[in-house]
């Protein structure tokens, strides 16, 4: 019994080492691919090499005859039992949504799409036989790239008649949240400044380290699916909704999941095929993708063209922002699909008091890998655009980039503040975060060094990039989601169970895959309930254990799931109070609760929560009017988003001879409200930063003109290593502006680093060479792009043609554009 | 991730290996350290029926002094080459370049001869071997022959090693006291070089040798630069001027990491840097 | 082919296909699922183990090549020292050098090798020495810190 243990010092705010780690550092892990069941069969997928083709015929005879092959199945072998991949967020009522079969029988719409599945006794034999499946294709013209898609001359899905899926519009003058942006732009053309830019959000690949894997066990009364997913609950719902199996017969388990970053926020063809095969054969099956398969078929992220007009007066006070996005959905409208760019709609005005705003988002279909959430999802794109524009405005006005921000941001006295996009920011202190970041970064000294290097024409120039960001996180108030036509709510569920021995089981509907929920949630419960940290066990990721939940994405787990937990704990204490009053023979009004004990005011009498738990186990003595349990559960639906913010400062060195860029220093000061575990928070920020930096400098998914993914392995899709990155200064404001709409005062942090860092880096790179006539460099800022930008005007970077005097006319690498990496 | 089935042979002598190669011909593939071969097999980009692993042939491992040259056994790992005092003393350029091959784990398995025989134009060892005038000792059914570096690299992934032959050792003429530097240009650390320059110089500068990585279908010598450097003084201006000739006669590829003209520009810049560092300037 | 080898201190013997990779042998035949597969191009290093005491990517070694040799995986690391954890494992926990934990076994095995060769590395030497291991969660910041912390604690 733990009843007599001292309650530990306050857990919230403590840098607890993680409970999760013991297993992970000793290899005692349960990744989906580790699961082996008796009689388990293995799947190998046959994928289309063509981006767009009719399937003329599939000959499976040779494959069926191969050693230990149990079955070879195609789309034609399944009817409706295969189900469908769903889009949960049709962003407009008239959205064009092509049907999406997990394994189409007649036509493929991107290279990598599955056309047949081989089932064999071993993974090796399945792979061997997959090579024997003979598929005949009638190749069709493929449309790649946003601009081609908009022309509608080649169609990704000819039956739809267009590549344009949906147009979503927000206008502040129509919404009553602000003025008319066209009028603002007209005015600025006359007597102010108009900055007009087109920015490219390149296509990215989430590239979680654990390749996706799925195991389905159809034996037993419930069908069980283990999947490397972020969303076991949504997955279960979608399986039920599309395959006709009652939800109550489905158990989905997300065991140890090796990262997601939005990339495992999906219901996938591979899961649906494994489900159908297991049901058909009545045997457990497993499918684990290779990295190459993952890169080509797991959804991609970003991929937008942003057309932007920023209007300001002569002093740089912004009067309006107009945004037109074209967003590439890929071949299908994925689970969240066009909702991703729409999430950005509310963030382009960022931390600023823009008086007028218009946002349009046109989604298009192409014959490429589908796109969906990637860390930040909509908000990094918005932040990038506005923070790049603010730097351009500062350059135009001729003031420091921080000055232009100060002229436009919401001051800390102005909260709560209703923005031009219609959100109510409850709290924030941009001045404080900026001041602290500036100081630790050594802003003034670096600016001085920059000036010296410029003056002496140093080969290596220094640039300083600023990004002052906010984001909306904690997805999401269910009514807001409803108003946006999203197919589900944004609530979260938790339950707290007191075991007979005094241990506490906490069940959460969130589904961690590296975030450290077991540790952070234990800290919350330990404090709130007054029990030892070690006595709290957090259960999640199994729909039979956590029957209600909406999973983990959008920086929601702590701010929504944690709040549900707080409410459940409070209910436990309420129930326990009734029992304590009975056992202590005291009025409930005379009981105080603290440190895990009820005490009778003015006496030395008391009883510990663990003793009460035991009392409900024995049931020997409890009030007549009490149900024999102090367990409780709660569902929490947030009333608002929360709005973490921060100031990120980055110093980049640019080698003007080669175009190579090197990070010199990165300092960020994030205001994320109250912090549960600073160690975990710092880790989230570090990882987020590098993903955002990687967008700025290294990563890009490129399809060639035929629709083949050129960056189809880690040899070509460039993830940074430890040797490419630096150590960061991660700070928080000393007196955070706490979130006012949840009990813990917390704000989301999972995506902050990614959202803020990309523009900070690109602003720094551009700043380093702005004096050489550069005002933009397309992401990723490859050495070649930087070099060409620097020398675009001075003749030192000759056009590719004139630089190739030694080339034979017919040399294969004569195409000067082939290496530009733009891809689309 | 799973190679096509193959038979595995592990000969313990060069003679045995040659006999196996003779028997299986082009159905067989030689495996040295396997660090380039196994990825190819896993991706099913190649499907030999027989893999002949040279790992069991002890005589192919080791580094020895042979008068005017040092001799590196083909199966000596990158790690062992990197650490070896003879290499550092007499072929500093090899020491520097081999340290840049892939990563630590790969260097523990990958072999000096295997990497050269693989002849990836982006491989790090071709340019320094060429620059140092390495000699490649190749064993075949009729005995051994020696091929000069200039004749060894034939084309993309193609060398002078015949289908029935095996590279057994590489002789590096001693360049005792020569300064050296391998300047590698990548976007991320685990990437193959976009361009790299291997430079070694005697004095400052009496004589210079410059090899280029990934500037064509084989490693190349920047001979015009070498000629211009001979007898020049190791000043920044002088070296940079000579380096302007570095891309002459090259035919670099255009791909995601850079267009051909950009690679030529890099070759010129990096040659200047490599030579200056080699000269200790 | 029949192979006999020592894995994590235990002698094991199996019949394997020559094409079976060491990582597949460890996972599928021995149930050593602590060692994982993260890519198919030998870039990620998640499968790093020690072969006769030095770090290798076990996707880049055939099981038959490990015959007669000694393999140590993340599951056998702690058995070689006093106490429950190897000091490098302890450092990764102490410094929050992992999040999802998928790259962690490879990271730890490579860090142990790095510190064996260079017991007192600088930050730059750690960053270069770990370049063959990819992580997507931590941004490497705390991984580097963990390795430096282990060095300071005399892990090697």
Distance CA A537, CA B159 (A): 62
Q: What is the DSSP string of A289-314?
A: --HHHHHHHS-BEEEEEEEEEEEE-T
Nearest to B35 by CA among B125, B96, B133, B128: B125
A161, with CB counted inside 10 A (0-12, 13-18, 19+), is exposed
Distance CA A114, CA A112 (A): 6
Is A285 part of a structural domain of the chain? no
Nearest to A265 by CA among A557, A18, A684: A557
Distance of CA C91 to the CA centre of its chain: 15
Quickly state the pLDDT bin for A795 (edges 50, 70, 90).
Answer: low
- Res. A804: pLDDT tops 60: no
Residues in CB range of A684: below 8 A, 6 or more apart: A515, A749, A750, A752, A753
Tell me the pLDDT tens digit for each residue of A230-264.
999 999 999 999 999 999 999 999 999 999 999 99
Asked if residue C111 and residue C65 are part of one domain, the reply reads no
Instruction: Please count the residues of chain B.
Output: 281
Q: Which residues of B touch C55 (CB under 8 A)?
A: 104-105, 108
Distance CA A421, CA A472 (A): 12
Tell me the pLDDT tens digit for each residue of A43-55.
999 999 999 999 9
| Mean per-residue pLDDT, B164-185 | 98
Measuring CA to CA, how many Å separate A44 from each of A130, A255, C27?
6, 22, 19
Confirm or reject contact between B249 and chain A (CB < 8 A). Answer: yes
Quickly state the pLDDT bin for A7 (edges 50, 70, 90).
Answer: very low
Q: Which residues of C touch B43 (CB under 8 A)?
A: 40-41
Q: Do B188 and A716 touch (CB under 8 A)?
A: no
| Mean per-residue pLDDT, A610-621 | 97
Query: Which pLDDT score, from 0 to 100, does residue A801 have?
Result: 39
- Res. A455: pLDDT tops 70: yes
Q: What is the CA radius of gyration of chain C?
A: 15
Q: Which residues of C touch B6 (CB under 8 A)?
A: 18-19
Asked if residue C112 and residue C62 are part of one domain, the reply reads no
Q: Among A22, A514, A688, whose Cβ lies nearest the Cβ of C100?
A: A514
Any chains having at least 3 CB pairs less than 8 A from chain A are B, C
Residue in A with minimal Cα distance to B267: A658
Asked if residue C71 and residue C6 are part of one domain, the reply reads yes
Is A714 part of a structural domain of the chain? no
Query: Which pLDDT score, from 0 to 100, does residue A817 have?
Result: 34
Residue in A with minimal Cα distance to B5: A128
Is A87 part of a structural domain of the chain? no
Distance CA A30, CA A65 (A): 34
- Res. B97: pLDDT tops 50: yes
Three-state DSSP class for residue B68? coil
Bridge partners, A227 (sequence order): A214
Cα angle for residues B245, B248, B253 (degrees, 5° grid): 125
- Res. B37: pLDDT tops 90: yes
Average per-residue pLDDT in chain B? 97
Tell me the pLDDT tens digit for each residue of A81-107.
899 999 999 999 999 999 999 999 999
Is A775 part of a structural domain of the chain? no
- Res. B196: pLDDT tops 80: yes
Asked if residue C121 and residue C102 are part of one domain, the reply reads yes
Residues 116-155 of C with CB under 8 A from A: 123, 126-128, 130-145
| Residues A355/A420, Cβ–Cβ less than 8 Å | yes
Quickly state the pLDDT bin for A496 (edges 50, 70, 90).
Answer: very high
Domain that holds residue A611: 21-27+491-636
Tell me the pLDDT tens digit for each residue of A308-355.
999 999 999 999 999 999 999 999 999 999 999 999 999 999 999 999
Is A744 part of a structural domain of the chain? no
pTM: 0.95
Query: Which pLDDT score, from 0 to 100, does residue A789 have?
Result: 97
Asked if residue C125 and residue C69 are part of one domain, the reply reads no
Nearest to A329 by CA among A159, A164, A86, A484: A164
| Mean per-residue pLDDT, A656-683 | 97
- Res. A147: pLDDT tops 70: yes
User: Within chain B, how many helices (H) and strands (E) appear?
Assistant: 12, 14
User: Within chain C, how many helices (H) and strands (E) appear?
Assistant: 6, 5
Q: What is the number of other CB atoms lying within 10 angstroms of the CB of residue A614?
A: 17
Query: Which pLDDT score, from 0 to 100, does residue C81 have?
Result: 53
- Cis omega (within 30 of 0) for bond into A156: no
| Mean per-residue pLDDT, A221-235 | 97
- Which of C141, C148, C150 is the best substitution to test chain A (most A C-beta atoms within 10 A)? C141
Tell me, what CATH number does C23's domain have? 3.10.20.30
Measuring CA to CA, how many Å separate C67 from each of A742, A760, B2, B105, C62?
59, 52, 19, 19, 9
Q: Which residues of B touch A811 (CB under 8 A)?
A: 251
Q: Do B187 and A782 touch (CB under 8 A)?
A: yes
Q: Given the DSSP bridges, would you call strands B195-202 and B179-185 parallel, antiparallel or unpaired?
A: antiparallel
Domain that holds residue C93: 87-152
Tell me, what CATH number does C97's domain have? 1.10.150.120
- Res. A814: pLDDT tops 90: no
Query: Which pLDDT score, from 0 to 100, does residue A6 have?
Result: 45
Distance CA A80, CA A759 (A): 46
Quickly state the pLDDT bin for A590 (edges 50, 70, 90).
Answer: very high
Average per-residue pLDDT in chain A? 94
Residue in C with minimal Cα distance to B35: C60
Tell me the pLDDT tens digit for each residue of B111-136.
999 999 999 999 999 999 999 999 99
Q: Which residues of A touch C19 (CB under 8 A)?
A: 124
Is C118 part of a structural domain of the chain? yes
Quickly state the pLDDT bin for B85 (edges 50, 70, 90).
Answer: very high
| Mean per-residue pLDDT, A225-229 | 98
- Res. A196: pLDDT tops 80: yes
Q: Which residues of C touch A729 (CB under 8 A)?
A: none
Residues in CB range of A106: below 8 A, 6 or more apart: A54, A55, A75
Q: Among B43, B252, B266, whose Cβ lies nearest the Cβ of A658?
A: B266
Distance CA A612, CA C39 (A): 51
- Domains assigned to chain B: 7-51 (3.30.43.10), 61-173 (3.30.465.10), 179-278 (3.30.390.50)
The pair phi, psi for residue A665, each rounded to 5°, is -155, 145
Is C82 part of a structural domain of the chain? no
Asked if residue C67 and residue C9 are part of one domain, the reply reads yes
Distance CA A106, CA A269 (A): 16
Nearest to B95 by CA among B119, B124, B66: B124
| Residues A73/A280, Cβ–Cβ less than 8 Å | yes
- Res. C156: pLDDT tops 90: no
Quickly state the pLDDT bin for C80 (edges 50, 70, 90).
Answer: low
Asked if residue C69 and residue C111 are part of one domain, the reply reads no
Distance CA B255, CA B250 (A): 16
Q: What is the number of other CB atoms lying within 10 angstroms of the CB of residue A179?
A: 16
- Res. A510: pLDDT tops 90: yes
B to C CB pairs, distance under 8 Å: 87
Asked if residue C42 and residue C19 are part of one domain, the reply reads yes
Confirm or reject contact between A12 and chain C (CB < 8 A). Answer: no
Is C81 part of a structural domain of the chain? no
Asked if residue C70 and residue C10 are part of one domain, the reply reads yes
Is A585 part of a structural domain of the chain? yes
| Residues A152/A87, Cβ–Cβ less than 8 Å | no
Residue in B with minimal Cα distance to C39: B1
Bridge partners, A217 (sequence order): A224
The pair phi, psi for residue B173, each rounded to 5°, is -55, 135
Q: Do A722 and C102 touch (CB under 8 A)?
A: no
Confirm or reject contact between B43 and chain A (CB < 8 A). Answer: yes
Asked if residue C101 and residue C54 are part of one domain, the reply reads no
Confirm or reject contact between A56 and chain B (CB < 8 A). Answer: no
Asked if residue C72 and residue C7 are part of one domain, the reply reads yes
- Structurally, chain A folds into a number of domains equal to 1
Q: Which residues of C touch A721 (CB under 8 A)?
A: 127, 130-134, 140
Query: Which pLDDT score, from 0 to 100, does residue A797 have?
Result: 58
Instruction: Report chain C residues touching chain B, CB-CB < 8 A.
Output: 1, 17-19, 21, 24, 37, 40-43, 45, 48, 51, 54-57, 59-62, 64-65, 110, 113-114, 128-129, 131-134
Q: Which residues of C touch A715 (CB under 8 A)?
A: 41, 43
Nearest to A245 by CA among A452, A82, A410: A82
Helices marked H in A152-202: 172-175, 181-191
Distance CA C126, CA A659 (A): 26
Q: What is the DSSP string of A577-602?
A: HHHHHHHHT--GGGEEEETTEEEETT
Is A551 part of a structural domain of the chain? yes
Q: Do B53 and C65 touch (CB under 8 A)?
A: yes
B56: distance to nearest CA of chain C, Å?
A: 9
Query: Which pLDDT score, from 0 to 100, does residue A9 have?
Result: 57
Measuring CA to CA, how many Å separate C93 from each of A19, C33, C84, C131?
9, 20, 13, 21
- Cis omega (within 30 of 0) for bond into A416: yes
Query: Which pLDDT score, from 0 to 100, does residue B83 have?
Result: 87
Asked if residue C112 and residue C64 are part of one domain, the reply reads no
Query: Which pLDDT score, from 0 to 100, does residue A59 have?
Result: 98
Q: What is the CA radius of gyration of chain B?
A: 19
Query: Which pLDDT score, from 0 to 100, does residue B236 have?
Result: 93
Confirm or reject contact between B144 and chain A (CB < 8 A). Answer: no
Confirm or reject contact between A68 and chain C (CB < 8 A). Answer: no
Is C128 part of a structural domain of the chain? yes
Q: Do C136 and A25 touch (CB under 8 A)?
A: no
Percent of chain A with pLDDT over 70: 95
Tell me the pLDDT tens digit for each residue of A319-330.
999 999 999 999
B264: distance to nearest CA of chain A, Å?
A: 8
Distance CA C57, CA B106 (A): 7
Residue in C with minimal Cα distance to B7: C18
Is C112 part of a structural domain of the chain? yes
Q: What is the number of other CB atoms lying within 10 angstroms of the CB of residue B208?
A: 31
Quickly state the pLDDT bin for B281 (edges 50, 70, 90).
Answer: confident
Residue in A with minimal Cα distance to C133: A721
Tell me the pLDDT tens digit for each residue of A769-793.
999 999 999 999 999 999 999 998 7
Bridge partners, B185 (sequence order): B195
| Residues A474/A638, Cβ–Cβ less than 8 Å | yes
Tell me, what CATH number does A550's domain have? 3.30.365.10
Query: Which pLDDT score, from 0 to 100, does residue A475 have?
Result: 83
Distance CA C66, CA B109 (A): 12
Q: Which residues of B touch A120 (CB under 8 A)?
A: none
A637, with CB counted inside 10 A (0-12, 13-18, 19+), is middle
Q: Do A291 and C35 touch (CB under 8 A)?
A: no
Q: Among B8, B43, B109, whose Cβ lies nearest the Cβ of C61?
A: B109
Confirm or reject contact between B34 and chain C (CB < 8 A). Answer: yes
Distance CA B256, CA A715 (A): 11
- Structurally, chain C folds into a number of domains equal to 2
Distance CA A212, CA A264 (A): 8
Distance CA A464, CA A147 (A): 33
Query: Which pLDDT score, from 0 to 100, does residue A444 have?
Result: 97
Interface predicted TM-score of the whole assembly (ipTM), two decimals: 0.97
- Res. B273: pLDDT tops 60: yes
């Amino acid at each position: 019994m733990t009843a007599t243990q001292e309650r530990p010092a306050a857990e919230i705010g403590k840098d607890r080492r993680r409970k999760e780690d013991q297993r992970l550092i000793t290899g005692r892990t349960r990744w989906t691919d580790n699961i082996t069941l008796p009689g388990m069969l293995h799947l190998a997928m046959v994928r289309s090499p063509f981006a767009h083709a009719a399937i003329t015929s599939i000959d499976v005879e040779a494959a069926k005859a191969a050693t230990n092959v149990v079955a070879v199945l195609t789309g034609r072998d399944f009817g409706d039992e295969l189900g469908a991949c769903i889009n949960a967020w049709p962003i407009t009522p008239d959205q064009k949504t092509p049907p999406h079969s997990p394994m189409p029988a007649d036509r493929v719409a991107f290279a990598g799409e599955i056309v047949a599945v081989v089932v064999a006794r071993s993974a090796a034999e399945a792979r061997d036989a997959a090579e024997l499946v003979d598929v005949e294709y009638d190749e069709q013209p493929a449309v790649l790239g946003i601009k081609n898609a908009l022309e509608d001359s080649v169609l990704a899905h000819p039956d739809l008649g267009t590549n344009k899926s949906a147009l979503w519009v927000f206008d502040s003058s129509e919404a009553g949240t602000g003025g008319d942006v066209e009028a603002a732009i007209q005015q600025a053309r006359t007597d102010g400044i108009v900055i007009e830019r087109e920015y490219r959000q390149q296509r990215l690949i989430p590239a979680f380290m654990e390749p996706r894997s799925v195991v389905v066990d159809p034996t037993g009364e419930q069908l069980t699916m283990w999947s490397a997913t972020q969303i076991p609950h949504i997955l279960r719902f979608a399986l039920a909704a599309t395959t006709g199996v009652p939800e109550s017969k489905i158990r989905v388990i997300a065991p140890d999941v090796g990262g997601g970053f939005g990339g495992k926020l999906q219901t996938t063809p591979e899961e649906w095929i494994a489900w159908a095969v297991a049901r058909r054969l009545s045997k457990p099956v497993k499918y684990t993708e290779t990295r190459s398969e993952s890169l080509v078929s797991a959804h991609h992220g970003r991929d937008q063209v942003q057309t932007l007009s920023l209007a300001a007066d002569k002093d740089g006070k912004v009067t309006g922002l107009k945004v037109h996005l074209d967003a590439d959905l890929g071949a299908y409208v994925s689970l969240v699909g066009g909702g991703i760019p729409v999430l950005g709609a509310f963030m382009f005005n960022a931390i600023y008091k823009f008086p007028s705003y218009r946002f349009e988002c046109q989604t298009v279909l192409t014959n490429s890998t589908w796109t969906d959430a990637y860390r930040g999802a909509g908000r990094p794109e918005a932040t990038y655009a506005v923070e790049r524009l603010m730097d351009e405005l500062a350059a135009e006005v001729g003031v420091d980039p921080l000055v232009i921000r100060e002229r436009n941001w919401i001051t800390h006295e102005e909260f709560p503040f209703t923005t031009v996009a219609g959100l109510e920011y409850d709290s924030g202190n941009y001045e404080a975060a900026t001041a602290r970041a500036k100081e630790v970064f050594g802003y003034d000294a670096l600016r001085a060094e920059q000036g010296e290097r410029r003056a002496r024409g140093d080969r290596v120039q220094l640039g300083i990039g600023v990004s002052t960001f906010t984001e909306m996180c904690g997805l999401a108030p269910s009514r807001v989601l409803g108003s946006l036509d999203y197919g589900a709510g944004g609530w979260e569920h938790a339950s707290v169970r007191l075991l007979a021995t005094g241990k506490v089981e906490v069940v959460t509907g969130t589904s961690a895959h590296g975030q450290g929920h077991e540790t952070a949630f234990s800290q919350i419960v330990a404090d709130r309930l007054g029990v030892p940290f070690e006595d709290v066990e957090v259960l999640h990721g199994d729909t039979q254990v956590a029957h209600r939940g909406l999973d983990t994405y959008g920086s929601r787990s702590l701010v929504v799931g944690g709040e549900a937990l707080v409410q459940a704990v409070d209910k436990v204490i309420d129930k326990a109070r009734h029992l304590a009053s009975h056992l202590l023979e005291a009025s409930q009004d005379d009981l105080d609760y603290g440190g895990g004990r009820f005490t009778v005011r003015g006496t030395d009498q008391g009883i510990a929560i663990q003793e009460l738990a035991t009392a409900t186990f024995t049931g020997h003595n409890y009030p007549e009017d009490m149900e024999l349990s102090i367990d409780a559960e709660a569902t929490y639906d947030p009333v608002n988003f929360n709005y973490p913010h921060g100031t990120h400062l980055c110093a980049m060195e640019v080698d003007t001879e080669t175009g190579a860029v090197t990070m010199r220093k990165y300092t960020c000061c994030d205001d994320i409200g109250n912090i549960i575990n600073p160690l975990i928070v710092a880790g989230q920020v570090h990882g987020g930063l590098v993903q955002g930096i990687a967008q700025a400098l290294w990563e890009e998914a490129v399809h060639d003109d035929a629709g083949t993914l050129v960056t189809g392995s880690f040899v070509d899709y460039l993830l940074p290593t430890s040797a490419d990155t630096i150590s960061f200064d991660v700070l928080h404001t000393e007196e955070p502006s706490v979130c006012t709409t949840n009990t813990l005062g917390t704000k989301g942090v999972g995506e902050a680093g990614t959202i803020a860092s990309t523009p900070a880096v690109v602003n720094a790179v551009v700043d380093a060479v702005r004096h050489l006539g550069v005002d933009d460099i397309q992401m990723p800022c490859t050495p070649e792009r930087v070099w060409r930008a620097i020398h675009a005007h001075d003749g030192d970077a000759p056009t590719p043609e004139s630089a190739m005097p030694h080339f034979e006319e017919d040399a294969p690498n004569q195409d000067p554009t082939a290496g530009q990496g733009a891809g689309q | 991730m799973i190679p096509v089935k193959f038979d595995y042979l592990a000969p313990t002598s060069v003679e045995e290996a040659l006999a196996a190669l003779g028997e299986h011909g082009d159905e067989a593939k030689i495996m040295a350290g396997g660090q380039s071969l196994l990825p190819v097999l896993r991706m099913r980009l190649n499907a030999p029926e027989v893999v002949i692993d040279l790992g069991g042939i002890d005589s192919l491992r080791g580094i020895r002094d042979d008068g005017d040259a040092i001799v590196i056994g083909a199966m000596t790992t990158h790690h062992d080459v990197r650490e070896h005092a003879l290499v550092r003393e007499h072929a500093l350029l090899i020491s520097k370049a081999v340290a840049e091959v892939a990563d630590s784990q790969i260097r523990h398995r990958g072999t000096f001869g295997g990497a050269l025989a693989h002849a990836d134009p982006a491989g790090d060892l071709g340019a320094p071997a060429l620059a140092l005038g390495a000699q490649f000792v190749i064993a075949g059914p009729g005995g051994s022959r020696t091929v000069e570096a200039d004749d060894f690299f034939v084309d993309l992934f193609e060398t002078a090693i015949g289908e029935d032959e095996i590279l057994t050792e590489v002789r590096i003429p001693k360049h005792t006291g020569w300064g050296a530097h391998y300047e590698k240009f990548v976007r991320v650390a685990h990437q193959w070089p976009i361009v790299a320059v291997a430079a070694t110089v005697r004095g400052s500068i009496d004589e210079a040798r410059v090899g280029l990585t990934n500037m064509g279908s084989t490693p190349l010598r920047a001979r015009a630069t070498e000629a211009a450097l001979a007898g020049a003084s190791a000043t920044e201006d002088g070296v940079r001027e000579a380096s302007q000739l570095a891309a002459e006669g090259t035919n670099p590829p255009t791909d995601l990491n850079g267009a051909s003209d950009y690679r030529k520009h890099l070759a010129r810049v990096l040659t200047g840097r490599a030579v200056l560092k080699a000269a200790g300037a | 082919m029949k192979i006999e080898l020592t894995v994590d201190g235990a002698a094991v013997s199996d019949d394997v296909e020559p094409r079976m990779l060491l990582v597949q042998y460890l996972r599928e035949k021995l149930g050593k699922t602590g060692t994982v597969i993260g890519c198919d191009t030998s870039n990620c290093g998640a499968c790093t183990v020690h072969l006769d005491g030095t770090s290798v990517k076990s996707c880049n070694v055939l099981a038959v090549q490990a015959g007669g040799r000694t393999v140590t995986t993340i599951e056998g690391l702690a058995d070689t020292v006093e106490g429950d954890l190897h000091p490098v494992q302890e450092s990764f926990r102490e410094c929050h050098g992992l999040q999802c934990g998928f790259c962690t076994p490879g990271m730890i095995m490579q860090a142990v090798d790095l510190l064996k060769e260079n017991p007192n590395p600088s930050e730059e030497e750690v960053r270069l020495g770990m370049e063959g291991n990819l992580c997507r969660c931590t941004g490497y910041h705390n991984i580097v810190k963990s390795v430096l912390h282990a060095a300071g604690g005399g892990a090697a």
